[in-house]
Copies of this chain bind each other. A is one copy, B any other.
Amino acid sequence: MKFSTLLIPTSKETPGDASLASHIYLLRGGFIDSVGDSGLYNFLPLGKKVLDKIRFVVKEELDRAGCQEVALSFVTPESLWRESGRLEKYGRELLRFKDRKENNFVLGPTHEEMMVNLIRRTVKSYKQLPLHLYQINLKFRDEIRPRFGLMRGREFLMKDGYSFHVNREDMQREFAHMEETYKTIFTRLGVDFRVVEADSGAIGGTGSKEFMVLADSGEDTIVICESCEYGANIEAAVAEPKVYDEGVTYISVKMKAHYDEGKSKVIAFVLPEGAELQEVKACKAVGANDLSVSDESAQAPIVVIEQSLGAAVDPHDFDAKEIFYEDISSVKEGDRCVHCGGVLRYTKGIEVGHIFQLGTRYSEALGCHFLDENGKSVPMVMGTYGIGVSRLLAAIIEQNHDERGCIWTRECAPFIVQIIVANMKDEAQKAWGEKLYYEMREKGIEVLFDDRTKRFGSKMRDYELIGIPYAVVMGKNLPEGKVEFITREGMVKEEVGIEDLSLFVEKRVLS
């Protein structure tokens, strides 16, 4: 396509609230447009193209894996959320509203309830199972502080899949199958990623894995083993237990644990000195929705002791009604791997996929049963699988950029090659540019032709900012029959003879 006809509003100005490279470059490169600081974004032509590329890969691999695409209503009845017991648990991120008849609805941030409601009405027999449905659809989460552009926006595009099974074994088979499918997807998208063990959070269930795009700017801390494949989100990471002697110094951290219906309890968490309380683990240990700082003088009827302290502390030292032992401390760099004894270290990642062994949490709450081979009614066993489709745009750029702009991976680039005519008033440059443009189009190669009458420097800056994998510059050496071929990664420049150009470009961009 011709640059001059496309809406690509590139800009030199860094938007005030943007700190992450992806946020800055996606805005400055004219991929997205911010709707008034509200965590809402428009996808402009270039951004929409990237989104479609990602969507295409995701859909192709899921269809190949036997999943079926559907599209559920984005607006969902609040009653379903009440039925599942999630209305309160989800908290204020759940955007609720009334329609003109005062009926209550929710803008779906995830669709477990809707999907289970569909399946409980349409699937009755073990003969209809297993079943895996997915959608690639809008979601809304009323973030208190939307930030980092597409990384943590309020309206976003997500692939959410849900599988239904006769038993746990079959669900685990599909879970493993999805882990492989996701690996294929992220490999095709060209990102460097790691699969890590994770906490299941508000979705619920047991056993979940996250797919992390490795990037220094990632919000998540990942613990990885230097010697084996082990990786886990810090929230779920475990290390070889340390052994403490009786004389160990320990600290006690008092926290207020919050439960449904506004209930709360004060809890003392006891840790060896130097260890750090891992709040997600701590929450899980006491079954709370959330923790907040508590007044140190408050009475704590419940005491949770870090399990590694084991026999090293005397439970009688605590004046408590209940005492129990749990893994509540953060793994530290240098700790040892439980699998191989290797050294654990930290890295940063962006969560772009999450797969859950959900079990019967929703099928029981919502009464999603089937008749098994013996005619007995049992709840279906579920798995659920997400990919942050719009977040992937940001994650790809966090991992692939330099100080000049984006560096798109080949499978996700809006175009594969850009033709830059240095001076549109130079008839030869223009003619050779057009010739190559039509040749590339003829061959089905996605090509962007920068035919604007701007200065060369400005066109090059836009090329670097937008980050299409390859470029051909029709420039000052054209009279000698030479043009420049650029690889965006590293901005590697090569001189190519004009006569061999078409074949050369074709070979390089399709290789």
Contact = CB atoms under 8 A, between A and B. Distances in A.
B99 A70 contact: no
Given A45-B69, A70-B45, A99-B95, A75 B122 contact: no
A302 B204 CA distance: 66
A118 B30 CA distance: 11
A459 interface: no
Interface string A437-467: 0000000000000000000000000000000
A4 B290 CA distance: 44
Given A103-B38, A122-B7, A75 B140 contact: yes
Nearest to A117: B35
A75 B40 contact: yes
A66 B45 CA distance: 12
A73 interface: yes
Q: How large is the interface on A (under 10, 10 to 19, 20 to 34, 35 or more residues)?
A: 35 or more
B74 A48 contact: no
Contact of A100 (B43, B77, B142): B142
A7 B44 contact: no
Contacts of A75: 40, 107, 140, 154-155
Interface of A: 5-7, 9, 30, 33, 35-36, 38, 40-45, 47-48, 51, 66, 68-77, 79, 92-93, 95, 97-101, 103, 105, 107, 114, 117-118, 121-123, 128, 131, 133, 138, 140, 142, 144, 154-155
A140 B107 CA distance: 12
A26 B395 CA distance: 40
Given A70-B42, A70-B48, A142-B99, A77 B35 contact: yes
Contacts of A47: 70-71
Contacts of A9: 121-123
Given A36-B77, A48-B69, 8 more contacts: A7-B68, A7-B122, A38-B77, A44-B118, A45-B68, A73-B155, A75-B140, A92-B100
